[in-house]
Structure 1
Amino acid sequence: MVTRFSLGLFLSACGLVLPAAAQAPPQGLHFPTNEELRHTRSMAQPRLSPDGRSVLLTVTDSTADGARSHLWLVDIKQNTARQLTFTPAGEKRGENNGQWMPDGDSILFLAHRGEHTQLYRLSMEGGEARAYDLKITPTVDTSKLPDAIPPAKTDAAKPDTADKPEQIPLDVENYSPSPDGRWIAILAHDPETPGEKKAHDDKADAVWVDHDPHGSRLYLLDPESGKLTPVSVAPDVDSVAWARQSDRILAVARGMNNAGDLGPDASSWLVSTGDPDHPRKLTQLPATVEGAIWSDDGKHLYFMAQSAADAPPGYSDLYSYSFDDSSIKNLTGGYSGSLAHQLPIQDDSRLLVPVQTGTRIGVLRLNPDSPADKQEPVKFDTATVTNLDTNDRRNGWVWLGSSSTQPMTLFYAEKLSRSAHALNAPTLMPAAWPQVQSQLVSWKNEGLTMEGLLYLPPEAANRKVPLIVDVHGGPTGAFEDAYYPLIEFLLGQGWAVFRTNPRGSTGYGAAFAAANKNDLGGADYRDIMSGVDTVLARYPLDTSRMALMGYSYGGEMAGFVEGKTTRFKAIVSGAPVIDQNSEYGTESGSWYDRWFYGKPWEHEADAWRQSPLSGVSHAKTPFLLLQGEADTTDPLGQSQEMYRALRQMGVPVDMVQYPRENHGPLANGIFGNPSPEPWHGFDGRQRIVKFFKTAFGE
């Protein structure tokens, strides 16, 4: 019997999937409809049980079913899966962040049921999950401030005494059990007090920007007694990492009230479980630290932080910190790929580091005493590997793997050096679709070698087909060789899709990621157009029917393309940057943009040159803008500026706004991933297809 997970291998064995040629879909298979993309599910966070016999997995329902997440249990030996948690009627969020207790007798998870997000514990013996009743006496209550509005009323008949402190429930943001199960580290935001709620209800709700005293704090929970102990690390606490001995925690905190907009602001604190009131600041760790793990012997920390090379903010290296002499060593400096923003796993004396090399995501087996480029990559059967996980005994390994012909699949291996097999996790796709092998395309432009992925529809076997050029977000991002429902949908229209990784992309080293500094819309634009020329020369593509689309930085590049060339019949821009000046002043954070061109009022010419709006007087191509109204990354005003400019220039332009949608969620919905908005993704895809078909004369 052929499952959907093994269908790609079956088609290859039958000669039905050939990497160098487009072929008709096997009989009975069809490319997805727009409605079918509302029925895809996703899975994440596989967690191997302490005994190595089962996997805890988060599965998110399809958009059509509400996009709630639930926990599933996969039995490795029986190769069966069953749903563990179920969402009560009326709740919209589901259950998430499932983890094993170290003894394996129970699991923990977060769920918002009723008024609060709580930590739940579910016994593997069965029964109902039990919520921890976590309450604190709030340390912050703005309604009690001397100048609070409305002013506090006093009763002259009663003595002027302080109100009795009230215990208030916490909303848990994240948690982490200690390796011995003695503690659970809890991260929770300061709760709203009754007085603050009353003020909000009375509309005394003026917001003093960047002066909110509420923050996320760290607590230690005794899981047996339910006792909650505050830890004296100042908010905002962002993440924690337990020592294997369970006696110490590394806590990483961020500055309050948008401090990161002024520069890196992380601080690292060493907390002893025996003395949580006196944490010690690790001043040697940089302010760009992102997260860490401990060595098994507790003598080192391995942490991710900003690359030592000049690279965009968030481009990281892996470092080690020695508690013996407080020294720091860069373990991945000069690595020819990029770190994949997942923390490493210690495996004996080596580290397993998730990395991106070109269009592939895998794992590097790294010896901390040797350079990264001298290490050997771990071999996997799929091009993209994420969420690698094991247990303390390291008696098994699980991960999620995919490629252009392999939907996301849960894999298991006893050892990483041995062959893996796919586990029977819940099916993610609503049907078996034709699987088109991506084709890796490389070309050179202005001294650099580029890569892209080309997907050809079956029609290309007989005639030249239209070409859709897709530009990724970032710009510090990349397209990987993975499975994308949106690609399947576009191929079903009879169109080829070309996804490019121009300079500025990850996966090719720090210098490549930095090669577009102060040059947005310059050489990166020419990289893309050079790639277009390459595929036009090599493949059966119709030069008279080309379109371009992109989201975020891809939407920004779409704006540059609008003002630089008329080679495309239509352009779609999702959540773009259009004017660097206005975007810099209204986005949620500006530190990332500042690296590229500095403060725009100090570098006006650079900021304007790198604004798509600067080229709008040359615009002629029909343009479609898709924009979330609640976008804080690239705010609504950016699309509004482009819409007005193109409209006044007489260029055919349409703009569609999506209420409630922020930056990432709208992209997820359009790309065919589960979304709590039932129709926005469907609407976006429908408009894209109609827009392109009109431009192509179809």
Structure 2
Amino acid sequence: MAHSQDSFQKSSGTAAAEQTAPDASARTPFHDLDRFIGLRRLGGLALSPDGRRLVTGVSELDAESTRYVTGLWEIDPDGKHPARRLTRGAQHVKDNRGESQARFTLDGDLLFVASRPQGDDDDAPSLWRLPAWGGEAYRVAEHPGGIGAVLTNAAQGTAVGTGSPEGTGEATPAAPASTVVVQASALPRAADLDAEKEGRKQRKDRKVNAILHDGYPVRFWDHDLGPDVPRLYVAEHADDSTADERAVLRDITPDAGRHLGETAWDLAPNGTFLVSAWMVPEGRGSQRTDVVRVDLATGERTTLLASDEEYEYEPVRISPDSRQLLFERWIRSTPERSARPELHLLDLESGDQRDLASGWDRWATGAVWLPDGSGLLVTADEDGRSPVFHLDAGTGRVLRLTDEGAFSEVVVAPDGSAAYALRASYEYPAEPVRLDLTGLGSLGDGGSVPVTRLISPVERPELPGRLTEVETTADDGARVRAWLALPETASAESPAPLLLWIHGGPVSSWNQWSWRWTPWVAVAQGYAVLLPDPALSTGYGQSFIDRGWGTWGDAPFTDLMAITDAVEAREEIDATRTAAMGGSFGGYMSNWVAGQTDRFKAIVTHASLWALDGFGPTTDASYYWAREMSEEMQETYSPHRYVDRIRTPMLVIHGDKDYRVPIGEGLRLWYELLSKSGLPQAEDGSTPHRFLYFPDENHWILTPQHAKVWYQVVLGYLAQHVLGEEPADLPEVLG
């Protein structure tokens, strides 16, 4: 249920909480943080094999407004009828996040993963089935380590039929059986699920959480790796089972160990095999990625693509006839050579490979086959957007199909007449759309297919301002572009203060809505927010990435300053009141900016890299960053070497569970700001710098009330140092 004033007051029960209840008079949700965190969010998309059912997930606040819970909703693919709710997750389960991993079977049933304890069962995520004919969902499979992912062979865009092709009299291959594969975490010494359950019980009862490692990595993003490891299981019914009984999980990767990792995999439409990335240790703390084929009947494993010093590989999508594999070949990076993905096709029968999109200067981020196997739809960042492209499987020709917006979760109707996707931009969060593909064959360069907005279970929020594009030219002649979000009141008579917001990555782009990095909350407070794509950003060609590779403090920094100069020259911008902020790599760049210029009134740095020689060995994937961060780069471009030049008040933000940029970076930054920065301290030893610390958050601030605190502290700090207001009163933080 969406957040409301009545429900907030009922759950809080205190006068202080009632004072922060949503302000019904606030003109947009971005003017009131309670209304903002209460906005529902859309994510994921699944299409039934017959093309008649489209399912997405909607996340909303629970009754206590302390976490988001996701339910599944069905959207009308024709756009005629309102969306309807399919599931409603258990409200009182510890750490419940609702339903996820929605997948259709070939029979049309809907599978999903959810924590719904029954009896004395624990709350480990299990596999649930919602029958095509309706009724209540029931649990079909569980694993003591919890089920993390599910795949079926109801591949989007694959038409499955029986009988004879019209007019030929020839029999078609029999329709494949519906196949389900799940990924779960298993203790390496457990021979079966009973041993698995007992092993976990012993560790829990004895309060043991120690892990003995024999390799690398040991952490990933926000969680420890081990002692359990990922395994893949075929979910199948026993011979004497009925439709309503639970499935049996048959382990097909009992010896996988850490090779599976948290990596990409795909299930063949014919239901007989899958392909997976396979992590291979190569010594000295490094690992490479191969691609393997796993037979579902026998578990036999075959290496399809073996990496070397030049290339690594990752599977993308198996073709509808199960005979070809689209894969990415990654050029392995060095301090002098940037990483680069290339799309290739592998013939699974002959082993022949070919480059599928030679000369296409973009990084593909998603792919789905057309039902007849003639081509694929892929997405890729381009010029501050992420369009859908058609990639011809025969000629390799690439054709852009859409104009505005960033598309994701693309699925294709079984007859190939339409595709469905989620579309977002900085003007609206993710919403479902239909792409008309009937004219695809006659579409020429520069054309686009019709895109229709479907009836979403989530409405577009009203914005507090307007969005425009800006660009400038860097000293080396490169074009630098950005989004600029302006408050409605910004004008020559009433210029707005400017907030430069630097994206993370670093190989990334500001091209679509983010709930974590929402400029409109600041716009509602009167700021103009600049979202630039400097060197290292995707969507402008490989050479634009190369401009900043291994030299983070050069072109990325000068690009940011150039686009800031250009925007400050606009009459609706107050160049005397500016601030800069960023997270992750954007935090690194904020730190770098602080040591290179004092042009900003305040700087906010979130989950930021501070000392590169400390970050490199302690992050969760040190071997990856070591390929780019030479000793010379660490010496030249580490922000901590310029701490004595920092004369700008800084707000440091970090979560203790951040393993990508470990908390040590934030702690060292905080201490060195106090002890070494060039900003004068008061006579009493106090400092204008601040440190916002989240003991239980990771690289992102995910829980609703912490997200609210994040925005409160950031906006309060900016108001004090940019607008000259009194320090904000923050009872939630100060106690």
Q: Shorter-chain TM-score: what band? A: 0.7 to 0.9
Q: Which structure 2 residue ranges, 5 or more long, are not aligned?
A: 1-25, 155-175, 188-195, 216-225, 242-246, 440-448, 680-687, 726-735
Whether contact under 8 Å (1:338, 1:506) holds in the other structure is yes
Q: What is the rounded CA distance, in whole Å, between the counterparts of 1:361 and 1:260 in structure 2?
A: 37
Q: Does 1:511 align with 2:543?
A: yes
Q: Which structure 1 residue ranges, 5 or more long, are not aligned?
A: 1-26, 136-168, 667-674
Q: What is the rounded CA distance, in whole Å, between the counterparts of 1:303 and 1:316 in structure 2?
A: 10
Give 1:433's match in structure 2, choosing from 459, 463, 487.
Answer: 463
Q: Which residue does 1:18 correspond to in 2? A: none
Whether contact under 8 Å (2:424, 2:431) holds in the other structure is yes
Question: Cα–Cα, structure 1 residues 400 and 182, in superposed 2: closer, same or farther, change >3 Å?
Answer: closer
Whether contact under 8 Å (1:579, 1:611) holds in the other structure is yes
Question: Cα–Cα, structure 1 residues 450 and 217, in superposed 2: closer, same or farther, change >3 Å?
Answer: same
Mapping for residues 174-185 of structure 1, pairs under 5 Å:
174-179=149-154, 180-185=176-181
1:37-88 Cα offsets, whole Å, 9 max, x none, are 2112211222122222221111111483621111111233442111111112
Give 1:378's match in structure 2, choosing from 398, 401, 410.
Answer: 401
Q: Which residue does 1:215 correspond to in 2? A: 229
Whether contact under 8 Å (2:125, 2:142) holds in the other structure is no
Q: Which residue does 2:343 correspond to in 1? A: 318
In the TM superposition, what is the alpha-carbon distance from 1:580 to its structure 2 partner?
0.7
Give 1:630's match in structure 2, choosing from 623, 647, 657.
Answer: 657
Q: Which residue does 2:87 correspond to in 1? A: 85
- One-letter code of the match for 1:332? A
Question: Cα–Cα, structure 1 residues 52 and 395, in superposed 2: closer, same or farther, change >3 Å?
Answer: farther
- One-letter code of the match for 1:302? L
Give 1:343's match in structure 2, choosing from 367, 371, 377.
Answer: 367
Normalised TM-score (structure 2): 0.78
Q: Does 1:390 align with 2:391?
A: no
Q: Which residue does 2:19 correspond to in 1? A: none
Give 1:198's match in structure 2, choosing from 197, 202, 207.
Answer: 202
Give 1:521's match in structure 2, choosing from 539, 548, 553.
Answer: 553
Q: What is the rounded CA distance, in whole Å, between the counterparts of 2:306 and 2:690 in structure 1?
A: 52
- One-letter code of the match for 1:265? R
Q: Which residue does 2:5 correspond to in 1? A: none
Q: Does 1:658 align with 2:658?
A: no
Question: Cα–Cα, structure 1 residues 412 and 195, in superposed 2: closer, same or farther, change >3 Å?
Answer: closer
In the TM superposition, what is the alpha-carbon distance from 1:298 to its structure 2 partner?
3.0
Identity %: 24
Which deviates further from its counterpart, 433-442 or 650-659?
A: 433-442
Q: What is the rounded CA distance, in whole Å, between the counterparts of 1:439 and 1:65 in structure 2?
A: 36
1:262-316 Cα offsets, whole Å, 9 max, x none, are 4443232223334x23222214567733332122333321012314787987752
Which deviates further from its counterpart, 503-512 or 316-325?
A: 316-325
Q: Which residue does 1:497 correspond to in 2? A: 529
Q: What is the rounded CA distance, in whole Å, between the counterparts of 2:588 and 2:33 in structure 1?
A: 26
- One-letter code of the match for 1:299? R
In the TM superposition, what is the alpha-carbon distance from 1:551 to its structure 2 partner?
0.4
- One-letter code of the match for 1:478? S
Higher RCO (Cα < 8 Å, 6 or more apart): 1
Q: Does 1:470 align with 2:501?
A: yes
Q: Does 1:534 align with 2:562?
A: no
Whether contact under 8 Å (2:470, 2:482) holds in the other structure is yes
In the TM superposition, what is the alpha-carbon distance from 1:397 to its structure 2 partner?
1.9
Which deviates further from its counterpart, 517-526 or 614-623?
A: 517-526
1:460-497 Cα offsets, whole Å, 9 max, x none, are 22332211001000111111154767211111111111
Q: What is the rounded CA distance, in whole Å, between the counterparts of 1:307 and 1:370 in structure 2?
A: 23
Whether contact under 8 Å (1:40, 1:428) holds in the other structure is no
Q: What is the rounded CA distance, in whole Å, between the counterparts of 1:231 and 1:244 in structure 2?
A: 18
Which deviates further from its counterpart, 197-206 or 489-498?
A: 197-206
Question: Cα–Cα, structure 1 residues 245 and 216, in superposed 2: closer, same or farther, change >3 Å?
Answer: same
Q: Which residue does 1:128 correspond to in 2? A: 136
Q: What is the rounded CA distance, in whole Å, between the counterparts of 2:269 and 2:203 in structure 1?
A: 45
Q: What is the rounded CA distance, in whole Å, between the counterparts of 2:578 and 2:228 in structure 1?
A: 51
Whether contact under 8 Å (1:405, 1:435) holds in the other structure is no
Q: Which residue does 1:480 correspond to in 2? A: 511
Q: What is the rounded CA distance, in whole Å, between the counterparts of 2:497 and 2:136 in structure 1?
A: 55
Give 2:296's match in structure 1, choosing from 270, 273, 277.
Answer: 273
Q: Which residue does 1:691 correspond to in 2? A: 717
Q: What is the rounded CA distance, in whole Å, between the counterparts of 1:261 and 1:220 in structure 2?
A: 35
- One-letter code of the match for 2:58? V
In the TM superposition, what is the alpha-carbon distance from 1:572 to its structure 2 partner?
0.2
Q: What is the rounded CA distance, in whole Å, between the counterparts of 2:359 and 2:570 in structure 1?
A: 34
Q: Does 1:573 align with 2:605?
A: yes
1:140-173 Cα offsets, whole Å, 9 max, x none, are xxxxxxxxxxxxxxxxxxxxxxxxxxxxx45212
Question: RMSD in angstroms over aligned alpha carbons?
Answer: 2.7
Q: What is the rounded CA distance, in whole Å, between the counterparts of 2:229 and 2:313 in structure 1?
A: 19
Whether contact under 8 Å (1:69, 1:93) holds in the other structure is yes
- One-letter code of the match for 1:36? R
In the TM superposition, what is the alpha-carbon distance from 1:330 to its structure 2 partner?
2.6
Question: Cα–Cα, structure 1 residues 200 and 242, in superposed 2: closer, same or farther, change >3 Å?
Answer: closer
Q: What is the rounded CA distance, in whole Å, between the counterparts of 1:606 and 1:415 in structure 2?
A: 48
Q: Which residue does 1:606 correspond to in 2? A: 633
Normalised TM-score (structure 1): 0.82
- One-letter code of the match for 1:566? D
Q: What is the rounded CA distance, in whole Å, between the counterparts of 2:285 and 2:330 in structure 1?
A: 16
Mapping for residues 663-674 of structure 1, pairs under 5 Å:
663-664=699-700, 666=701
Query: What secondary structure is seen at the aligned counterpart in 2 of 1:198?
Result: helix
Question: Cα–Cα, structure 1 residues 331 and 445, in superposed 2: closer, same or farther, change >3 Å?
Answer: farther
Q: Which residue does 2:184 correspond to in 1? A: 188
- One-letter code of the match for 2:717? F
Q: Which residue does 2:41 correspond to in 1? A: 42
Q: What is the rounded CA distance, in whole Å, between the counterparts of 1:199 and 1:409 in structure 2?
A: 44
Q: Which residue does 1:8 correspond to in 2? A: none
- One-letter code of the match for 2:370? Q
Q: Which residue does 1:292 correspond to in 2? A: 316
Aligned length: 615
Give 1:443's match in structure 2, choosing from 452, 473, 481.
Answer: 473
Q: What is the rounded CA distance, in whole Å, between the counterparts of 1:260 and 1:530 in structure 2?
A: 43
Q: What is the rounded CA distance, in whole Å, between the counterparts of 2:371 and 2:307 in structure 1?
A: 24
Q: What is the rounded CA distance, in whole Å, between the counterparts of 2:485 and 2:538 in structure 1?
A: 21
In the TM superposition, what is the alpha-carbon distance from 1:205 to its structure 2 partner?
4.3
Question: Cα–Cα, structure 1 residues 196 and 424, in superposed 2: closer, same or farther, change >3 Å?
Answer: closer
Question: Cα–Cα, structure 1 residues 403 and 283, in superposed 2: closer, same or farther, change >3 Å?
Answer: closer
Query: What secondary structure is seen at the aligned counterpart in 1 of 2:471?
Result: strand
Question: Cα–Cα, structure 1 residues 280 and 442, in superposed 2: closer, same or farther, change >3 Å?
Answer: same
Q: What is the rounded CA distance, in whole Å, between the counterparts of 1:260 and 1:68 in structure 2?
A: 42
